[in-house]
Amino acid sequence: MSNYQYLDKVNFPSDIKKLSIEELKIFSSEVRKELINAVSVTGGHLGAGLGVVELTVALHYIFDTPNDKLIWDVGHQTYPHKILTGRKDKIRTLRQKNGLSGFTKRTESEYDPFGAAHSSTSISSALGIAVANKLSNKSNDVVAVIGDGAISAGMAYEAMNNAGVSKTKMIVILNDNDMSIAKPVGAMRSYLAKLLSGKLYFSLREISKLIISIFSKKFSAKAGKAEDFLRTAVTGGTLFNSLGFYYVGPIDGHNLDVLIPVLKNAKESRHEGPIMIHVKTEKGKGYTFAEKASDKYHGVSKFNIQTGIQEKSKVNLPSYTKVFANTLIKHAEKDSKIVGITAAMPSGTGMDIFGERFPKRMFDVGIAEQHAVTFAGGLATEGFKPYTAIYSTFLQRAYDQVVHDIAIQSLPVRFAIDRAGLVGADGPTHAGSFDITYLSTLPNFVVMAASDEAELVKMINTSVDINDKPSAFRYPRGTGVGVQLPSIDEKLEIGKGRIIQEGTKLVIINFGARLAECLKASISLKKKGINISIVDARFAKPLDENLIWQLATDHEAIITIEEGSIGGFGSHVAKFLFEKNLLDRGLKFRSMILPDKFIDQDKPESMYKLAGLDSQSIEERVIDLLNSNIVLQKQK
């Protein structure tokens, strides 16, 4: 039983409107405490939420949500928002089966007007809603909250450029905590830092008074001059002003005495056009261990509140991500042309490890996947060997660049595709479901998938020598299966699969990390007197056509299995079988793929069971297919 003075009485934003500012300060500390307690049990994103507690409280206090639309960028920072908007009692179900999403989700609450899991979408979606309101003669306010890391992405600039000329009122809160997931990179970080380091900068207290006084409806000529001075010389708001925004800031994002009057003035303003309020916050605010951590506890597993120590995996196996990073380092030690690229995910992709060893040869380009891909293309034209490490779900954001700038020009960019397949608690927005399909359709591409960590090493080794076309190798989130790693000299013959075991009648052709489940199914089938062949395809493109021909002529049935959507490996195999008239000879063929739906968050093993890609589902599919053959023979 909780014993919060105010939080226990608050279920929706309307409840906090009855509180005084002094009471809101106590309430904010209670929200922060509840957030720490909840995430210590569930794991998830902590640092970002801790940094926006006061901002969240102030926004819901001033604006009439859900009638006024509050749109959060990414979603990492929305846990306090969920506590305030009718989801307090479910906060300990975060990122679990049938629980709260770790991101904003339209189907979860009317207080989530736009779903957000990938960054830099808030200004675009907010502008769309604001224009819709304008066309419908509605007076609802629209507020977008975007972080300093997310605003560095190209999409955010495109949105600001459009918003500035639209003359449509909307409010953008720039949550500047000097840190997105990792340290922000690029010119925007330096620009924001200058706002607080200029010689003319006043104290936050003094500047807050000035902002509150000038951002009112009663301007004198003198105040107008003060405003121009403040928004340019003092704060450096010229960039946002030039984009058509009315710029205010920076202000202390943890000071409700400042936040509430400024937000109130913004809401009541009759300014025709977008307003930018620059708020300074501290990621991890209020929890000592988060404040001191280099990543500010951005993403955490379950942890002990008193010590800050996070639970470690009980499985003592290397992660695929670290296997990739360590293998690439070994190659880079011998080949000075190898460089690493990531898009704001150095630790998530293992590029932080590579960067420690080769700081001049690792490039974190920020939240800019499109730029990352074309940047890699430029490096490739000059004889370098770029390894672009991007999650499968994030690489989708750069598909045009993959097609136009890399594939058409046949540039040897190597794509290390992490988080392939289903990813667990991050749910459908982060699942790597489509990369097999969207890459295998492209001419001039080599597409590989690792069935275990040893195969991943061999695929990295192989990619080093692919110098005339782009290549990609995909691998899942989590740890390997525990096999011994080969040396960096062991390479694969491009387009050639391997036979794992030989049986009769039916063969499973695996592409990717379902091999262990295939082997598990074969053991159970063997006990039932069914001996099957298993093949690890290794390549979706180019296909091992000779091997597939042999398998088709030696077996009565083929099943392909992959952790991807329709249109991937199985589709290419089916096309080959059809074109060679192999299906006309009575060959039975089935493909096992991800179902045509988005699968909600759960433990990965449960998600794969739901998807029908676990060992039991494989076993059932084998038996069904063999029985269908028997039935057809009897009918003859």
Predicted local distance difference test score (pLDDT) of residue 27: 95
Mark whether 451 and 562 lie in a shared domain.
no
With 50 as the cut, is the pLDDT of residue 67 above it? yes
- Asked if the structure places residue 311 within a domain, the reply is no
Whole-angstrom Cα distance, residue 61 to residue 59? 5
With 60 as the cut, is the pLDDT of residue 547 above it? yes
Question: Which one is catalytic: 397, 458, 514, 621?
Answer: 397
With 50 as the cut, is the pLDDT of residue 104 above it? yes
Please compute the mean of the pLDDT values over residues 141-165 and round it to a whole number. 88
- Asked if the structure places residue 313 within a domain, the reply is no
Mean pLDDT of the chain: 87
With 90 as the cut, is the pLDDT of residue 246 above it? no
Predicted local distance difference test score (pLDDT) of residue 184: 53
* Residues above pLDDT 90, as percent of the chain: 61
Number of C-beta neighbours around residue 152 at 10 A:
26
- Work out whether strand 446-449 and strand 539-541 pair parallel, antiparallel, or are unpaired: antiparallel
- Asked if the structure places residue 133 within a domain, the reply is yes
Mark whether 515 and 601 lie in a shared domain.
yes
Mark whether 408 and 343 lie in a shared domain.
yes
Which of 474, 491, 518 lies at the terminal end of a domain, its last residue?
Answer: 474
* Long-range contact set of residues 378-386: C-beta below 8 Å, sequence gap at least 24: 379/339, 379/341, 380/406, 380/411, 380/412, 380/413, 381/411, 383/337, 384/337, 384/338, 384/339, 385/335, 385/337, 385/338, 385/339, 385/412, 385/414, 385/464, 385/467, 386/339, 386/340, 386/341, 386/413, 386/414
Q: Is 291 a catalytic residue?
A: no
Instruction: Please give the residue that has the higher pLDDT: either 286 or 456.
Output: 456
With 50 as the cut, is the pLDDT of residue 223 above it? no
Question: Which one is catalytic: 30, 282, 369, 563?
Answer: 369
Mark whether 505 and 467 lie in a shared domain.
no
Whether 95 and 155 have beta carbons less than 8 Å apart is answered as no
Mark whether 163 and 99 lie in a shared domain.
yes
Q: CB under 8 Å to 584, separation ≥6 — which residues? A: none
- Domain of 575 in residue numbering reads as 499-635
Instruction: Please give the residue that has the higher pLDDT: either 177 or 178.
Output: 177
- Asked if the structure places residue 599 within a domain, the reply is yes
State the CATH number of the domain containing residue 387.
Answer: 3.40.50.970
Total count of domains within the chain: 3
Mark whether 259 and 166 lie in a shared domain.
yes
Mark whether 352 and 288 lie in a shared domain.
no
Predicted local distance difference test score (pLDDT) of residue 181: 46
Mark whether 445 and 516 lie in a shared domain.
no
Question: Which one is catalytic: 32, 95, 283, 296?
Answer: 283
Mark whether 468 and 604 lie in a shared domain.
no
- Asked if the structure places residue 486 within a domain, the reply is no
Mark whether 453 and 592 lie in a shared domain.
no
With 50 as the cut, is the pLDDT of residue 222 above it? no
- Asked if the structure places residue 188 within a domain, the reply is yes
Q: Is 330 a catalytic residue?
A: no
- Asked if the structure places residue 431 within a domain, the reply is yes
With 60 as the cut, is the pLDDT of residue 477 above it? yes
* Residues above pLDDT 70, as percent of the chain: 89
With 70 as the cut, is the pLDDT of residue 228 above it? no
- Asked if the structure places residue 597 within a domain, the reply is yes
Mark whether 406 and 371 lie in a shared domain.
yes
Mark whether 437 and 524 lie in a shared domain.
no
Q: Is 283 a catalytic residue?
A: yes
State the CATH number of the domain containing residue 547.
Answer: 3.40.50.920
